[in-house]
Amino acid sequence: MCDPGFTIVRSAIEAEIEITMIPGASAFVLALVLSGLAVHGFTFRGFPPRKPGPRLKFIEVDKDSPHTLIFYESPHRIKAFLKDAIEVLGDRRAALVKDLTKMYEQVQRGTLSELLSLFDDTEPRGEYTVVIAGTSDRVKN
């Protein structure tokens, strides 16, 4: 996917302009564009395994990938997934996209640990798409 719109979306995010999209073919594409992360190379992984061991191995496969990573996750497992992603991938830039095209659509952006902290005082609800920066777009320390 080579979409110059990603630079426009990133600029709008930086200017704190609210953006949304018209429904398309797949939630992961909408989430990728709304994330503000690189769209020129990505890997869609779908739902990770439910159990911790297999989930860690599933995430480990893409540990060194330079591409943006995209996962689906349920509200029942999102916290465990984010913790495992931090453990395996480090605290990368990411977006948590919830309930696309619905009344309560939300896009939260930050590091994986910042996104995990969103659930400190509230329980997850809705279906999530998690978009995580590849190794080429890591948080600069």
What value does the mean pLDDT take over residues 25-36? 89
Contact 109, 35 (CB under 8 A): yes
Q: In which domain, by residue range, is 11 found?
A: 5-137
Which CATH number covers residue 65?
A: 3.30.950.10
Beta strands in the chain (DSSP E): 42-46, 68-73, 93-98, 106-111, 128-132
HSE, CB side, 13 Å, CA atoms: give it for residue 133.
Answer: 17
Q: Considering its fold, how many domains does the chain have in total?
A: 1
Tokens 């809705």, residue located: 126
Q: What pLDDT does residue 21 have?
A: 74
Entry pTM: 0.82
Q: How far apart are the first and last CA of the chain?
A: 29
The yes-or-no verdict on residue 102 having pLDDT over 60 is yes
What value does the mean pLDDT take over residues 61-89? 97
